[in-house]
């Protein structure tokens, strides 16, 4: 309820106009809260929006919102567009005190207002009307609340109107709201409530309640752990839709090589502990992974999530540009979500592509992200993958923003050996549990042929070889529950698939080498020197 308390404080100070930002799903709860506040303070509460010809009066009975008719308002015939918003003039001249909630205003008073001459005139008329409300309604006990999902106000009037934005609830707010419902069982303990509330973190109360209603259809509510697990699954699906992200619980992945970087991830995990907090230690503000495409930067972020044991939010940074005027708002909401979840990894893929041109939107987004990274107090770890460092603004790479820069390079012989075995084990059981059916000479043939291949290309080679062998050796196509005949990969099949692809580091050699050289100048190595038996220095050139 803390967020509502801030709004109540603004209303009590009787600001004539207050801009309110609240998601649509919270509308009923917010209207109910404002109505209850009005009844407590002996004020009348009204609601107007474009969907109603008249003003409605709001009251609360038995914690339920009651909508009644308000007789004193006679709408003006709608002949011109400004007539639709005659409510602003009415409220300026109305003699009684109270609170009027006005919806559908923001599209007309936002920063990028309508461009058509007629619409522009309406926009300017509405902004002037709001300024008149502030001027004429001072100390009258009348408050106009502008309500919408996005409180976007033109800069020429924004200084005159305070803005309240509904925050995501914390654990105590969620628990308090759940105790007022009949969704959970009476015998639930404080620990049970805490378990369910933690699973719902990052959602608004209305979303949590609606998801719990769905969960109740298929889940035994006698076990709070089962309820929390089901709620978490539903939450992940909802967050992915709402924020256009990929939310992943700590995944189980295997990473071939990059030992130096993985050691750093394990160190960062310790910085999340209560003891580290006692020493005023925190996780780095940001980590940048630099290197050519396909070298495993996204996979490294998943490995970081696994090593640290915290969830991962994967975001395509370039996608924000496609949101146009909504890009900054979407980024701001995503950063608020990350702050509320706190111990989480926020991964921006292809971070450099948004800065390829001289783009004002890209600069504004970068500025918002940098400001947040500089000021945040939560334990969010930001990871960004970059191909070309020269595209980035210099301020992005200075200490205090991205504290660690790791070069994720083309895999060496030892790393390619490990990557081949990891992917081969998916299809050929001889490679599982540390098995290795091939001798050293066979491996040297394969590793030499795949020099300058990245991890993604090695994965493709193995998958295509497995498909080819399956089609050549397995005749039956029907599903069988009996033990399957083994699928055995061969060096010849892998070499044949290698011949059919042209690795990026070879066909775009100049571009890839430029990326590697730039990364060398600024980033730390992710891998130690190759000390495997396949290292270049261990090859006997006289054999």
The domain segmentation of the chain, as residue ranges, is 2-165, 171-243, 259-407, 413-473+485-507
* Angle at alpha carbon of residue 83, lines to 144 and 149, rounded to 5°: 45
* Rounded Cα gap, residues 36 and 65, in angstroms: 9
Q: What is the predicted pLDDT for the residue at 198?
A: 95
What are residue 417's phi and psi, to 5 degrees? -60, -45
- The CATH fold assigned to 413-473+485-507 is Helicase, Ruva Protein; domain 3 (1.10.8)
Q: Which two tokens stand for residue 173?
A: 């707010």
Q: What is the predicted pLDDT for the residue at 375?
A: 86
Q: What is the predicted pLDDT for the residue at 288?
A: 92
Q: What are the distances in angstroms from CA 454 to CA 71, 171, 288, 461, 495?
A: 73, 44, 19, 11, 15
CB 231 within 8 A of CB 208: yes
Q: Which helix (H) or strand (E) holds 101?
A: strand 98-103
Q: Number of C-alpha atoms within 13 angstroms, CB side, residue 211? A: 27
| Close Cβ partners of 358 (under 8 Å, ≥ 6 residues apart) | none
Per-residue pLDDT band for 114 (boundaries 50, 70, 90) equals low
Is the domain spanning 259-407 CATH 3.40.50.300? The answer is yes
Average pLDDT of the chain?
90
CB 408 within 8 A of CB 291: yes
Per-residue pLDDT band for 475 (boundaries 50, 70, 90) equals confident
Q: Which two tokens stand for residue 40?
A: 């407590």
pTM, two decimals, is 0.86
* Rounded Cα gap, residues 503 and 456, in angstroms: 10
| Close Cβ partners of 184 (under 8 Å, ≥ 6 residues apart) | 178, 192, 193, 196, 212, 221, 224, 227
* Rounded Cα gap, residues 223 and 229, in angstroms: 10
Q: How many residues does the chain have?
A: 543
CB 497 within 8 A of CB 464: yes
Which residues in 416-538 belong to E strands, given as ranges?
A: 524-525
- 150-187 per-position pLDDT tens digit: 998 999 999 999 999 999 999 999 999 999 888 999 99
Architecture label for domain 2-165:
3-Layer(aba) Sandwich (3.40)
pLDDT (average), residues 103-108: 92
- Strand-pair partners of 246: 314
**Please, what's the largest Cα pairwise distance for the chain?**
101
- 35-85 per-position pLDDT tens digit: 999 999 999 999 999 988 789 999 999 889 999 999 888 878 878 888 889
- 333-390 per-position pLDDT tens digit: 999 999 999 899 999 998 887 776 667 787 788 888 888 988 888 999 999 999 888 8
In this model, does residue 539 exceed pLDDT 70? no
**Percent above pLDDT 70 for the chain:** 97
Q: What are the distances in angstroms from CA 523 to CA 12, 264, 389, 392?
A: 54, 14, 10, 14
Per-residue pLDDT band for 118 (boundaries 50, 70, 90) equals confident
Per-residue pLDDT band for 540 (boundaries 50, 70, 90) equals very low
Q: What is the predicted pLDDT for the residue at 541?
A: 41
- 388-430 per-position pLDDT tens digit: 888 887 777 776 678 899 999 999 999 999 999 999 999 999 9
Tell me the angle at which helices 190-200 and 171-179 cross, rounded to the nearest 10 degrees.
120
Q: What is the predicted pLDDT for the residue at 113?
A: 64
Do the domains 2-165 and 259-407 sit in the same CATH topology, yes or no?
Answer: yes
Look at 239 and 117; give whichever has higher pLDDT.
Answer: 239
Q: Which helix (H) or strand (E) holds 481?
A: none
CB 373 within 8 A of CB 331: no
Q: Number of C-alpha atoms within 13 angstroms, CB side, residue 446? A: 25
3-state secondary structure of 193: helix
* Rounded Cα gap, residues 135 and 166, in angstroms: 26
* Angle at alpha carbon of residue 393, lines to 313 and 248, rounded to 5°: 5
Nearest to 3 by CA among 336, 228, 372, 245: 336
């Amino acid at each position: 309820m803390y967020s509502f308390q801030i709004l109540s404080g603004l209303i009590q100070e009787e600001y004539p106009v207050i801009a309110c930002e609240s998601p649509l799903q919270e509308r009923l709860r917010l209207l109910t809260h404002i109505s209850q506040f009005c009844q407590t303070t002996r004020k009348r509460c009204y609601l107007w929006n474009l969907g109603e010809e008249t003003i409605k009066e709001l009251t609360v009975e038995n914690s339920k919102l009651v909508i009644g008719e308000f007789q004193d308002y006679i709408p003006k015939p709608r002949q011109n567009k400004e007539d639709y918003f005659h409510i602003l003039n009415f409220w300026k001249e109305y003699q009684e005190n109270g609170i009027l909630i006005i919806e559908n205003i923001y599209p007309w008073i936002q920063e990028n207002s309508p461009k058509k001459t007629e619409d522009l005139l309406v926009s300017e008329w509405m902004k002037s009307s709001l300024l008149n409300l502030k001027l004429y309604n001072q100390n009258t006990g009348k408050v106009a609340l502008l309500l919408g999902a996005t409180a976007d106000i033109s800069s020429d009037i924004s200084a005159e109107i305070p803005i309240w934005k509904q925050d995501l609830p914390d654990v105590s707010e969620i628990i308090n709201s759940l105790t007022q419902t009949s969704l959970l069982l009476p015998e639930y303990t404080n620990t049970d409530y805490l378990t369910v509330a933690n699973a719902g973190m990052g959602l608004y109360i209305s979303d949590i309640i609606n998801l719990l209603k769905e969960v109740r259809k298929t889940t035994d509510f006698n076990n709070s752990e089962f309820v929390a697990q089901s709620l978490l699954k539903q939450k992940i699906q909802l967050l992915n839709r709402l924020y256009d992200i990929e939310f992943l619980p700590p995944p189980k992945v295997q990473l071939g090589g990059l030992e130096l970087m993985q050691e750093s991830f394990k160190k960062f995990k310790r910085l999340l502990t209560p003891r580290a907090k006692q020493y005023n230690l925190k996780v780095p503000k940001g980590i940048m992974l630099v290197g050519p495409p396909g070298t495993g930067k996204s996979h490294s972020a998943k490995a970081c999530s696994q090593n640290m044991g915290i969830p991962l939010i994967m975001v395509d940074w370039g996608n924000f540009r496609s949101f146009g005027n909504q890009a900054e708002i979407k980024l701001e909401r995503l950063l608020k979500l990350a702050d509320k979840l706190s111990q989480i990894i926020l991964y921006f893929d292809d971070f450099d592509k948004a800065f390829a041109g001289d783009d004002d939107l890209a600069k504004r987004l970068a500025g918002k992200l940098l400001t947040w990274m500089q000021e945040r107090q939560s334990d969010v770890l930001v990871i960004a993958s970059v191909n070309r460092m020269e595209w980035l603004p210099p301020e992005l790479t200075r200490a205090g923003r991205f504290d660690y820069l790791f070069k994720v390079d083309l895999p060496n012989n030892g790393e390619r050996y490990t990557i081949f075995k990891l992917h081969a084990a998916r299809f050929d059981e001889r490679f599982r549990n540390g098995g290795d059916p091939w001798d050293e000479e066979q491996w040297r043939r394969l590793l030499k042929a795949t020099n300058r291949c990245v991890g993604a290309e090695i994965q493709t080679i193995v998958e295509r070889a497995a498909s080819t062998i399956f089609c050549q050796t397995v005749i039956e196509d029907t599903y069988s529950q009996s033990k399957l005949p083994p699928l055995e990969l061969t060096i010849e099949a892998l070499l044949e698939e290698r011949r059919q692809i042209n690795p990026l580091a070879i066909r775009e050699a100049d571009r890839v080498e430029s990326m590697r050289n730039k990364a060398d100048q600024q980033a730390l190595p992710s891998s130690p020197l190759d000390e495997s038996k396949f290292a270049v220095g261990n090859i006997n050139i006289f054999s």
